[in-house]
């Protein structure tokens, strides 16, 4: 379920790729943040086999003021669309509100 939720977030927010913690430490302006789905809706007229979703996220950077950003994107129908209240750990750039990237979790195995 966690993987499906993470995949939904990636596709719904049009994130190009995930980055590792080492890349973030290089000083590209991204901070560790928490993204909470404040509002999500499925829109009509998506291509067959896709969801078209409009999602408003409340982004809370560590040691920073929270802000909202809205993204609209299509995603495959196999993954559940984002739901209100879901929380994700992301890298964010408060100067570029739509630059969100999932944090990569390392497997203990």
**Looking at residue 14, what is its pLDDT?**
37
The sign of the dihedral angle between the CA atoms of 73, 81, 33, 38 is: positive
| pLDDT-above-90 percentage for the chain | 23
**3-class DSSP state for residue 34?**
strand
Statement: the pTM of the whole predicted model exceeds 0.85: no
Domain ranges in the chain are 2-102
Report pLDDT digits (tens) over 46-94.
888 888 899 999 999 888 889 999 988 888 888 888 899 999 898 988 7
* Contact yes or no for 61/31 (Cβ under 8 A): yes
Mean of the per-residue pLDDT values of the chain: 75
Write the CB contacts of 90 (distance below 8 Å, at least 6 apart in sequence).
33, 34, 35, 59, 100, 101, 102, 103
């Amino acid at each position: 379920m966690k993987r499906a939720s993470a995949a939904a977030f990636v596709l719904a927010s049009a994130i190009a790729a995930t980055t590792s913690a080492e890349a973030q430490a290089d000083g590209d302006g991204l901070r560790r943040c928490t993204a909470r789905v404040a509002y999500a809706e499925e829109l009509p007229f998506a291509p067959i086999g896709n969801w078209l979703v409009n999602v408003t996220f409340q982004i809370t950077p560590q040691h920073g003021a929270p802000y909202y950003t809205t993204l609209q994107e299509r995603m495959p129908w196999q993954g559940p669309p984002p739901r209100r209240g879901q929380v994700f750990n992301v890298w964010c750039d408060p100067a570029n509100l739509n630059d969100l990237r999932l944090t990569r979790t390392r497997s203990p195995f």
